[in-house]
Amino acid sequence: MSFEGEPPDPLKSVAEGVAQGTLEWTAEKIEDIVCKFIDKKLAFIEDAETIKIIKRQKQKAEFGQFKYYCHDKYAQIIFQAGLALREYEENASNTKYDELIRKLGHKFKTEGIHLSWFAKDGLFGEYLTILLNQGLGEEEIRKEFNILINNIELHVAFISNEKVNSKKTIKQKAEEITSKITSHSPNIFIITGMGLAKQKAEEIHRIVTKKICDYDCKIISTKNKEIFILTYNEMC
Amino acid sequence: MQEVLSIKSMPKEVKIGLLDKLGYSSDGTFIFDKHGKKVIDKYIDLPVRVDNMFIYNGSTVILDNNPLSISSFLEEYGDVI
């Protein structure tokens, strides 16, 4: 690319000024990358790690299984974002985590955030295992996931430490969950709490299971999470 | 497949100059197209900031650098990066 005969190139003059202090971004280098961009050989990104994260998620068996059972493109994208959230959480990348949650919420509202948490917390695998153990066929499992992704609030309760912060709100949340379970009789209902909400999830689970009796419960307890998976059992 | 260059260490003035070269402008925070309209990431419906952008030249696509937008982009364009 030649700038000869053209008015002064703003990029070149800026780069020349900057290059004095930032050797990496010389005018020549910038001219070269602009040429490569125009020739469609190069793309730019603030942080290339974002692409690597997404490519890693796409290779995961967990995502492959989700894609197999759930053909909804938006759900697949949210699921990948959920797996990226898991990486941010594991690496304590709090700013990136919060930013992604904000963007998920802006585009897909609370339901989108909850679906991403469903992926992040590994609940898909748990859910799938139960459905397979119940002897459901592929199409039935697809139907179950279709129902789940379109009505996640009726199948999973993510207990928030901010919203559930007193005995009264714990009781209210337990009543809300009990009501969802009794009115919709979901095959599986999950109550989960993270960090400071762990104990609250436990209390809510205790109140709920006093009121409903036809569900078995599997508890997954980790350092930072408490997950209660209630599965309908007609023999109860 | 296009090579992707990280511009994390690129000074803001150079980023703005780069945008200028591509027919865009910036007020130092947001990006504007040639009609002076703020560039919005079509996958998340939020304005793209100069300090967190992804630029792809198929027909120039400017997005916010985040996993949600990038996975949506890959879904639409395939493995082009």
Type of residue at A184: H
Number of domains in chain B: 1
Confidence at residue A10, expressed as pLDDT on a 0 to 100 scale: 54
> B36 lies in a domain?
yes
pTM, rounded to two decimals? 0.89
- Average pLDDT of chain A is 90
Which residues of chain B make contact with A44, given a CB cutoff of 8 A?
Answer: 4-5, 7, 18, 53-55
Which residues of chain A make contact with B13, given a CB cutoff of 8 A?
Answer: 14, 17-18
User: Does A73 contact B at CB distance below 8 Å?
Assistant: yes
Q: Say which of B5, B55, B67 has its CB closest to residue A50.
A: B67
Q: What is the pLDDT of residues A116-145, one digit of tens each?
A: 999 999 999 999 999 999 999 999 999 999
Confidence at residue A165, expressed as pLDDT on a 0 to 100 scale: 83
Q: How confident is the model at residue A26 (pLDDT cuts 50, 70, 90)?
A: confident
Break chain A into its structural domains and give their ranges: 1-44, 46-154, 155-236
Confidence at residue A21, expressed as pLDDT on a 0 to 100 scale: 43
d(CA A38, CA A22) in angstroms, rounded, equals 24
Length of chain A, in residues: 236
How confident is chain B (81 residues) per 10-residue block, as mean pLDDT?
92 91 94 97 98 91 97 95 92
Confidence at residue A24, expressed as pLDDT on a 0 to 100 scale: 72
As beta bridge partners, residue A229 has A190, A218
Residue A149 has pLDDT above 80, yes or no: yes
Tell me if A228 sits within 8 A of A219, measured CB to CB: yes
Residues 6+ apart with CB under 8 A from A211: A174, A178
ipTM of the complex: 0.96
> B4 lies in a domain?
no
Domain A155-236 is in which class? alpha beta
Confidence at residue A9, expressed as pLDDT on a 0 to 100 scale: 59
User: Does A101 contact B at CB distance below 8 Å?
Assistant: no
Q: What range defines the domain where residue B30 resides?
A: 12-77
Confidence at residue A161, expressed as pLDDT on a 0 to 100 scale: 85
Confidence at residue A41, expressed as pLDDT on a 0 to 100 scale: 93
Which residues of chain A make contact with B53, given a CB cutoff of 8 A?
Answer: 44-46
> B69 lies in a domain?
yes
Tell me if B31 sits within 8 A of B24, measured CB to CB: yes
> B3 lies in a domain?
no
> B43 lies in a domain?
yes
Confidence at residue A22, expressed as pLDDT on a 0 to 100 scale: 52
> B55 lies in a domain?
yes
Q: What is the pLDDT of residues A55-93, one digit of tens each?
A: 999 999 999 999 999 999 999 999 999 999 999 999 999
> B56 lies in a domain?
yes
d(CA A50, CA A103) in angstroms, rounded, equals 14
> B35 lies in a domain?
yes
Which residues of chain B make contact with A45, given a CB cutoff of 8 A?
Answer: 4-7, 53-55, 65
Helix axes A138-150, A61-69, angle to 10 degrees: 90
